[in-house]
Amino acid sequence: MAIPDDAPQWRPCTPLDAPALGRFNAQLAEDEGAPALGPTSLYVERMRTWLSQGRYQAALAWAQDEPVAYALWRDDPDYADVFVRQFFVAREHRGRGIGQRLFEQAVRQFWDGRPLRLDVYDSNPRGAAFWARLGFAPYSRLMRRMPAEPGVDASPARPLRARTDRA
Ligand SMILES: CC(C)(COP(=O)(O)OP(=O)(O)OC[C@H]1O[C@@H](n2cnc3c(N)ncnc32)[C@H](O)[C@@H]1OP(=O)(O)O)[C@@H](O)C(=O)NCCC(=O)NCCS
C-alpha cells in the first residue's frame, strides 16, 4: 500500500526537543497507568537530562509541523539489544494504524537488524495487545518491592524455613 505524502516522518531529537517530548511523556504516563512523576515540567527536565547526557535517544514523528508521536530508546550492551523505553502516539491520532506504521518505520530507520526489548505495564492491556501484534512475545516478568514505611514490618508474612522432610 502506498504511503501518503503527508504520512508522519521520524526526525531524530536533540535536547532542544525536550519540551515537546516531556509533554507527550506526561500524557503517556497517564495513559499507561504509570505512577506520576509530578508536573509536566519534571518530565521536560528529565527528558533534557537524558538526551543531553546521551543516556537515551529519541525521535519525534512530524505530520507537517505537528508532532504526532515519539519514541525513546537506548542501546543496551548488557542485553545486546535496544531497549525501547517509550513509544507514544498522540491521543487524537490513535486507532488509525499510525502507531504500527511508525514503529516499523523506526525499525528500518533506527534499529535495523537489532533485537528489541520493552516493558509493558500490567495496567495497560491494550498496549500489550499492540506489541503482541507487532511480534513481541513475553520474555520476563518484572517484579518490584517498595521500601517499608517507617514502623511497618515489610518482611514476608510467612518466613521461609529450611525443610527437613524433603523426599
Ligand atoms: C499504543 C499506541 C502507541 C498505539 O498507537 P495507535 O496509532 O493507536 O495504534 P494502531 O492504530 O496502529 O493500532 C491500534 C491498537 O493500538 C492499541 N491502542 C489503541 N489505543 C490505545 C490506548 N489508548 N492505550 C493503549 N493501547 C492503545 C490497541 O491495541 C489498538 O488495537 P485495538 O483497537 O484492537 O484495541 C498508542 O495507542 C499509544 O500511544 N497509547 C498510549 C501509550 C501506550 O500505551 N504506549 C505503549 C506503552 S507500552
Interval 80-108 mean pLDDT: 97
Query: How does pLDDT run across 139-161, given as a tens digit for each residue?
Result: 999 998 999 988 876 566 665 55
- 1 inside domain: no
Question: Is residue 91 a contact partner of residue 79, using CB atoms and an 8 Å limit?
Answer: no
- 24 inside domain: yes
Query: Is 100 a residue whose pLDDT tops 70?
Result: yes
Interval 25-37 mean pLDDT: 92
Q: Kindly give the distance from the C-alpha atom of residue 130 to the centroid of ligand 1, in angstroms, as a whole number.
A: 6
Strands 66-76 and 57-63: antiparallel
- 120 inside domain: yes
> Does the beta carbon of 97 lie inside 6 Å of ligand 1?
yes
What is the Cα–Cα distance from 71 to 89, expressed in whole angstroms?
A: 9
The mean-pLDDT minimum among 24-38, 76-90, 95-109 falls in 24-38
- 34 inside domain: yes
Domain count, the chain: 1
- 145 inside domain: no
3-state secondary structure of 106: helix
- 141 inside domain: no
Instruction: Give the residue among 39, 19, 16 at the shortest CA–CA distance from 29.
Output: 39
3-state secondary structure of 155: coil
Ligand 1 atom at minimum distance from 28 CA: 42
User: What pLDDT sits at residue 1?
Assistant: 46
- 96 inside domain: yes
Query: Is 31 a residue whose pLDDT tops 50?
Result: yes
> Does the beta carbon of 126 lie inside 6 Å of ligand 1?
yes
Domain carrying residue 26: 9-133
Interval 26-33 mean pLDDT: 93
- 56 inside domain: yes
The best mutation among 84, 94, 119, 123 to test binding of ligand 1, ranked by most ligand atoms within 8 Å of the C-beta, falls on 94
Q: How many helices (H) and strands (E) does the chain have?
A: 4, 5
Instruction: Give the residue among 87, 62, 59, 60 at the shortest CA–CA distance from 6.
Output: 62
Entry field: residues in the chain: 167
CATH of the domain at 14: 3.40.630.30
